[in-house]
A = this chain, B = another copy of it.
Amino acid sequence: MTTVNRQIVLAARPEGLPKPSDFQLVETAVPELTGGQFLVKTNYLSVDPYMRGRISEAKSYAESVQIGQVMVGGTVGTVVGYWGWQEYAISDGQGIERFDTSLAPMSTALGVLGMPGMTAYFGLLEIGKPKPGETVFVSGAAGAVGSLVGQIAKIKGCRVVGSAGSQPKVNYLTGELGFDAAFNYKEVKDYDAKLQEVCPNGIDVYFDNVGGSLTDAVFTQINVGARIVICGQIDQYNATRPPRGPRLFWHLIVKQARAEGFLVFQFAGRFREGQQQMAQWIKEGKVKYQETIVDGLAYAPAAFIGLFHGENVGKQLVRVSG
């Protein structure tokens, strides 16, 4: 008796924005288990902007996915791991984490209590180091990470401003999540003027998920001693030639400011602390989270591509089973 394992494999290296045809749904048989192994069945899989880098040829901080290989990605079943875009996987337990479902529903292991949540928590608090009364500006503020960054900054007593790509998202930020101000960057022609309007006291912490010309404008509005947290640069992930822009380092000198990049894995030893704090804030109603869920493994490529069109609010997930 064989069990069929449906997987999404990388079919071609994307040029620019990934196309559905860059991915392929294949059916394989789950191989026989050997001693010490167990079979895991996927309930949810996570699609995230970082995966765009993982399907490029260019060397990054991790190995590229090869053509024909199963797509990488966070996954959750009755156990949590990184077994990629497929229905089943065999594991010997390595890279698998226990998730306490008394904290929150299983899907949050890929969102507010998973990689995006830890990215927001440690990126803001350890790199951004916000102080009460400071102004924190977040780009990509309605996304999986940005929406949490803003709420944590509010908890820390900051004035919080965000940018997002639609009016419903802007309403969600100011109406639901307690942002002090937000704007739809697609409707703004003069970023400098808009930032001056919504951040009248300048910007002390910039949590950057986006990069590009919005980041250029932020640099003209930073205060002395500003911390710029470089979390993502989604604006350029699909660029087919090296992106160029104004040279920004002079601003760092004049403002005695710092720009620092990070990967969430550098805080891996403290994830337990971060998860417990986030779960506590959720329980107290201080942190809200939203998930955008599509149903069916076959829709994983479309959900991934949708990230670059801003189709998700909060964490984008694919429900595979259960």
Which residues of A pack against B, CB within 8 Å?
60-61, 208, 211-212, 215, 230-233, 236, 242-247, 249-263, 266
How close is A103's CB to chain B, nearest CB, in angstroms?
A: 28
- Decide: A247 and B243 in contact? CB cutoff 8 A: yes
**Nearest B residue (CB) for A212:** B247
Alpha-carbon gap, A255 to B262, bound state (A): 7
- Decide: B249 and A259 in contact? CB cutoff 8 A: yes
**Nearest B residue (CB) for A61:** B254
- Decide: B256 and A262 in contact? CB cutoff 8 A: yes
- Decide: A259 and B252 in contact? CB cutoff 8 A: yes
How close is A213's CB to chain B, nearest CB, in angstroms?
A: 10
- Decide: A247 and B244 in contact? CB cutoff 8 A: yes
Contacts known (A259-B258, A261-B255); A249 close to B61, Cβ less than 8 A: no
- Decide: B261 and A254 in contact? CB cutoff 8 A: yes
- Decide: A246 and B243 in contact? CB cutoff 8 A: yes
- Decide: B256 and A261 in contact? CB cutoff 8 A: yes
Alpha-carbon gap, A208 to B259, bound state (A): 15
Alpha-carbon gap, A61 to B244, bound state (A): 26
Contacts known (A247-B236, A247-B244); A263 close to B256, Cβ less than 8 A: yes
**Nearest B residue (CB) for A257:** B261
The residues of B that contact A259 with a CB separation of less than 8 Å are 249, 252, 258-260
- Decide: A260 and B261 in contact? CB cutoff 8 A: no
Besides the known contacts A231-B253, A251-B261, A252-B259, 17 further A-B residue pairs in the complex with CB atoms under 8 A apart: A208-B249, A211-B249, A212-B247, A233-B249, A244-B244, A244-B245, A244-B246, A249-B261, A252-B260, A252-B261, A254-B261, A254-B263, A255-B261, A256-B266, A257-B260, A258-B261, A259-B259
Contacts known (A243-B246, A246-B242); A253 close to B233, Cβ less than 8 A: yes
- Decide: B211 and A247 in contact? CB cutoff 8 A: yes
Alpha-carbon gap, A131 to B114, bound state (A): 34
Residue from A61, A254, A256, A261 having most chain B Cβ neighbours under 10 A: A261
A60 touches which of B230, B254, B261 (Cβ 8 Å): B254
Residue from A250, A257, A260 having most chain B Cβ neighbours under 10 A: A250
The residues of B that contact A255 with a CB separation of less than 8 Å are 61, 261
Alpha-carbon gap, A247 to B232, bound state (A): 13
Contacts known (A243-B246, A246-B244); A263 close to B252, Cβ less than 8 A: no
**Nearest B residue (CB) for A208:** B249
The residues of B that contact A257 with a CB separation of less than 8 Å are 260-261
The residues of B that contact A215 with a CB separation of less than 8 Å are 249
Q: Nearest 6 pairs between A and B by C-beta?
A: A252-B261, A253-B261, A258-B260, A243-B247, A230-B249, A230-B252
How close is A52's CB to chain B, nearest CB, in angstroms?
A: 11
Alpha-carbon gap, A258 to B230, bound state (A): 9
How close is A25's CB to chain B, nearest CB, in angstroms?
A: 31
The residues of B that contact A260 with a CB separation of less than 8 Å are 252, 257-260
Alpha-carbon gap, A245 to B248, bound state (A): 9
Alpha-carbon gap, A212 to B246, bound state (A): 11
**Nearest B residue (CB) for A239:** B247
Alpha-carbon gap, A233 to B251, bound state (A): 10
